[in-house]
Structure 1
Amino acid sequence: MSNPPVIAIPCRHDTSAYYSGREINSQNNSYIRAVVAAGGAPFLIPMEVDKPKLQALYRLADGVLFTGGGDIDPAFYNQTPHPATAGIQRERDTVELTLARWAIADKKPLLGICRGFQVMTVASGGTLYQDIATQLPKAGRHDFLQKRGGFSRDHLAHEVILDADSRLAKLLGETSFLTNSLHHQALKTISEPFKVVGHAADGVPEAIELPDHPFCIGVQWHPEELVEKTEHAPKLFRAFIAASAQSAEQDNGK
């Protein structure tokens, strides 16, 4: 029996009452469970690593998963902070942008979720709208959050429409479905050869992919919260893990 593919998941900084308010490296268990359920073996990458140590950890991974979280420092895409921009952790930005560029160059499977979708965008030279409500006032609502209306993380908020000829549509076997929506920022510009392959009904980009890469997909919604509620969410994780397993086999054959 072959070993399960190893999936690197960068942490974020939180504070813990258990540790008297000290800062800890953490990650949402929904991502961990989704990777495990799909057949992957996840490990967490802390933020306190320099580039050589980060590269050593990266080499252990067969795939990389970027998760949701606070906003990326807009300095990384040559903007100044909008008043609504919040939750910046530059250490996390640096770790994830570095990993994204490595995985893109090395053709290592990469899945970006919400903030992770935005990390992939910025890592490849794209830019973001820092606040949909004020910078895209004609767009619909996308921040269906607990703190802004009591919405659960698996609340199906709006439809996503995928390009029929996209890899993502073929992997999921669907071109439209309902998703949750927990973001207040959005993709503004994308750098080639990345392609926007999915939108909400209001035109806000919801999915990107990189042609000629084994698996490099970013989604603006949160499939980790929908694994037990939809058919498309577990399909996405299974496809990512399958691509990571294939990458591991190819590396072992070298």
Structure 2
Amino acid sequence: MRPVIGITTYNGKSPSDLPIVAVQTRYVRAILQAGGLPLLLPNQLAQDEWLEIYPHLGGILLTGGGDIAPEHFSGAHHPKVGEVDEERDSLELALLRFAAEDKKPFLGICRGCQVVNVALGGTLYTHIPDQVQTGIRHDCYPELPRTHLAHPVRIEEGSQISKIFGEPILQVNSLHHQGIKNLAPALKAAGHAPDGMIEAVELPEHPFGFAVQWHPEWLTDQLPTRNLFKAFVEAAAEK
């Protein structure tokens, strides 16, 4: 049987203004193309409820989305911090901590990368343009397609994730305004933008504990991206 991948979701509104639980289809397609079976994880799950589902999951995909409440990392509030979702924050932070301890394969994407860092004790820049002097525009580029390649990322030689990507330099998109400030003690930086911003992290001694700041689900035409999702699903199949 193909491994089941739990995919985190967001709380939103339908066109008729009804509350919904949703996820962008790109995440679902990326998991299906890599050979996994996607299962959406609603934020309304209480701990005892997601713990019942947890044993059936081969891996966990932490998706992109809104900002994490600064209270979770002792961060200062900033006018550019978007509307936060405490329900989502609580589920994802608890789920990641459990998966890290249990050695369940996980992959964090954008917000998911930030969740991994915060859950394990790291902090974030709440708005990079105002807090970091950089010539790189770490932003959502709303005027450009999500496949727009905004800047390169240098993958650290000898890192675990370098074995998956197979290339030392990746061209990536940028759909974020927050990023890792202080790296969680348990994590290792595995990729950097030219300005030094951490773009990829890994959890040593974990079978598959990786997170990236960009959005690979929009770049599945790239071989390194396909390798990432394939390796994730393969690790989930072994769990």
In structure 2, C-alpha distance between the alignment counterparts of 1:165 and 1:87, rounded to whole Å: 38
In structure 1, C-alpha distance between the alignment counterparts of 2:48 and 2:8, rounded to whole Å: 16
Residue in structure 1 matching 2:73, options 73, 77, 85: 77
Residue in structure 2 matching 1:124, options 79, 99, 120: 120
User: 2:229 aligns to what?
Assistant: 237
Q: Match of 2:181, SS?
A: strand
Aligned AA for 1:77?
Answer: F
Pairwise CA distance, 1:109: 0.1
In structure 2, C-alpha distance between the alignment counterparts of 1:191 and 1:49, rounded to whole Å: 26
Contact 1:132 1:139 in 2 (8 A): no
Residue in structure 2 matching 1:192, options 185, 194, 197: 185
Aligned AA for 1:85?
Answer: V
- Is residue 11 of structure 2 the alignment partner of residue 13 of structure 1? yes
Pairwise CA distance, 1:58: 1.6
Give the TM-score normalised by the residue count of structure 2: 0.98
What 5-or-longer segments of structure 1 have no aligned partner?
A: 248-254
Q: Match of 1:227, SS?
A: coil
Q: Match of 1:212, SS?
A: coil
Pairwise CA distance, 1:180: 0.6
In structure 1, C-alpha distance between the alignment counterparts of 2:86 and 2:135, rounded to whole Å: 29
* Cα deviation code 1:147-181 (max 9, x no counterpart): xxx11011111000011100111111111110111
In structure 1, C-alpha distance between the alignment counterparts of 2:140 and 2:176, rounded to whole Å: 8
- For residues 21-60 of structure 1, what are the structure 2 equivalents within 5 Å? 21-60=17-56
- Is residue 63 of structure 2 the alignment partner of residue 67 of structure 1? yes
Q: Match of 2:185, SS?
A: coil
Pairwise CA distance, 1:144: 3.9
In structure 2, C-alpha distance between the alignment counterparts of 1:112 and 1:141, rounded to whole Å: 21
Q: Match of 1:189, SS?
A: coil
Paired residues in the alignment total 239
- Is residue 217 of structure 2 the alignment partner of residue 219 of structure 1? no
* Cα deviation code 1:108-164 (max 9, x no counterpart): 000000000000000000000000100013351011422xxx110111110000111
User: 1:250 aligns to what?
Assistant: none
Contact 2:6 2:41 in 1 (8 A): yes
Aligned AA for 1:76?
Answer: H
Q: Match of 1:138, SS?
A: coil
How large is the Cα RMSD of the aligned pairs?
0.9
Contact 2:75 2:126 in 1 (8 A): no
In structure 2, C-alpha distance between the alignment counterparts of 1:139 and 1:218, rounded to whole Å: 24
Aligned AA for 2:9?
Answer: C
- Is residue 198 of structure 2 the alignment partner of residue 205 of structure 1? yes
In structure 1, C-alpha distance between the alignment counterparts of 2:80 and 2:133, rounded to whole Å: 14
Q: Match of 1:57, SS?
A: helix
Residue in structure 2 matching 1:165, options 158, 164, 178: 158
What 5-or-longer segments of structure 2 have no aligned partner?
A: none
User: 1:175 aligns to what?
Assistant: 168
Contact 1:139 1:204 in 2 (8 A): no
Q: Give the fraction of aligned pairs with identical amino acids, expressed as a percent.
A: 44
Residue in structure 2 matching 1:143, options 124, 136, 139: 139
* Cα deviation code 1:82-113 (max 9, x no counterpart): 11110311100001001100100000000000
Contact 1:133 1:139 in 2 (8 A): no
In structure 2, C-alpha distance between the alignment counterparts of 1:15 and 1:72, rounded to whole Å: 19
